[in-house]
Structure 1
Amino acid sequence: MSSDIPSQSLDVESIRRVPKVLLHDHLDGGLRPGTVLDLADSIGYRGLPATDVGELGQWFRDAADSGSLESYLETFAHTCGVMQTEEALVRVAAEAAEDLAADGVVYAEVRYAPELFVERGLSLPAVVEAVQEGFAEGERRVAAKGGRIHLSTLLCAMRQHARAYEIAELAVRYRDNGVAGFDIAGPEAGFPPTRNLDAFEYLRTSNAHFTIHAGEAFGLASIWEAIQHCGAERLGHGVRIVDDIKTSPGGEVQLGRLANYVRDRRIPLELCPSSNVQTGAAPSIAEHPIGLLTRLRFRVTVNTDNRLMSGCTMSSEFAALAEAFGFGWADLQWFTINAMKSAFLDFDKRLDIINNVIKPGYADLIAS
């Protein structure tokens, strides 16, 4: 990584040039608008709200700015609608690898729900194999241009459906072929993680990794169930843990028992600032709990969630946080190392990326 970036210049362009790690990014939330149009045309999908690239990209962002998680999730009908063939899945996955690498991401765990891509007859294994083929192709393209990125996959089950055990088995089946773990996603309210206890028990006894979407649109009960009943290693979002933290008028902070537990156990929070604002989990970037959680030294990680819907990148998220909270290069390195420590990747590989990629990429900036 380049070391000639002024330490005071934490804008998007300078941040793009340092190594970053991404743990929470949805494949079907990161398509290029032009790709959505191309794929829709190739399969005869007629449901798109716009046929111009710029207008379509803006529509996704506007539709996601609803303040409601349920409305936010409706935008995925269009991206999933055009990702129903092997060719489409390969293309989207390969482009995701290229786009993330261009943003300076050196390691990413990209998640998706295989059950959402079987409408045109693909089997669940065929979906997984097509995505893995696309990621491999994307990594090859990045390497051919002199870049570096390593991608892992998280398979999601939709919590409102009844296929969690089946998807958990799929994650274990492909864990030696690029699938790093499992997740449940979808609307939290009315669909607690404990509905899928059999899947989580299977994963634990299989020595498999999993995270759980919890504490985004729903509160502390969702986080508590995810950790204490289901055994989540990480919290997808987890932003509502702030509800268990009280700050007095004088600035004194008191953590409740659950917040203390999460911090003491170093349970990673997969925070997604722009997305949290869009879904109403936080009122604004400046008022996002990430500032307090960082100050209290929770295991905070920064993520994009859905790059298309939020119109964001890792670099733009870091830049927005730096502006809102005065974060410097040392803070960005801290977020990045937190994420790498928390990745569902072999210990030796995590250590290699931390010591030989991340730390050298920030060293001169922090020292200057």
Structure 2
Amino acid sequence: MIATTRIPLRQSRPVWLALMLAVLLLLCALSVAIGTRDVDWPDIIAALQGRIDNISQAAIAARIPRSLLALLAGAALGLSGAVMQGITRNPLADPGILGVNMGAALAVAIGVAWFGIVSAQAYIWVAILGAGLAAVFVYTIGSVGRGGATPLKLALAGTATSVAFSSLVVAVILPRNDIAGGIRLWQVGGVGGATMERMSHVLPFLAVGFVLSLISAKKLNALALGDDMAAGLGERVALARASAALGAILLCGATTAVCGPIGFVGLVVPHLCRLLIGIDHRWLLPFSALIGACLLLASDIIGRIIARPNELEVGIVTAFIGAPFFIWIVRRQRLRDL
């Protein structure tokens, strides 16, 4: 019998990190190169240097901010999903499943339809407010009854809230034919039409969200041991949860404001990362951001290829990827363990 050797987890993490960075660079190059118009590498190089001498170079110049937005949004959603799963100790936690994305979407729909908001800053603040209120609402509902906020109750409360908020979005925009088309398209979730100006408004919020989420890694490791053990180790449990949740809400709200509600990235990515590098949040959080960026870039590229000369919005592609994965997780977990 041939002996097999297994690379220790600690030694494999740098290998996976280098591999995923290489994949990310490859996907960035493909995202710039692939679209409804075929382009040559000389045009790509010229566009990256800031030259727009022909239609191909103009097309590439439009793809660059789109690729950057997909990278940032994927990283934000992957990281926020890992944080939410760590806070709730819930394998089904996800900005979409817990209703956070739809809370942001409902707040934006109300702001546009009833208050006439038009500025990018207003979109972002309203979306973050909606995401925060939705998170508090779902956690409050999931905490009612015996056992407190169990993973199963949070998942059920979040799913019901998402459905209710989605219906409310339709009810809000239905009488407004002047904005209904734009809101419905935005509600699908996508990165098309991205510009550097749009991203400049959202970058400060994403930066704060990334920092708050990444520095919560040690706190999430303590919370994974249970509230009593975390308190015994000197952690302020409520403060630890609140600071980590604030980072996740900023990431979700800001991403939803600029891209619309994109689902399942925050669910799929943390599970994949745990298979690769384990459960230590000091590694899990940055890996979730990295692989989330790869997943959304790849989904955007797939959406451009399979529907050429048209394209599928990235939110549709991630739903096709994430829905079977969600079913697999539910079937894999015992109901009492959820």
Confirm or deny a common fold (TM above 0.5): no
TM-score scaled to structure 1, two decimals? 0.26
Greater per-residue helix proportion: 2
TM-score scaled to structure 2, two decimals? 0.28
Tell which structure's C-alpha radius of gyration is larger: 2
- Greater relative contact order: 1 or 2 (C-alpha under 8 angstroms, separation 6 or more)? 2
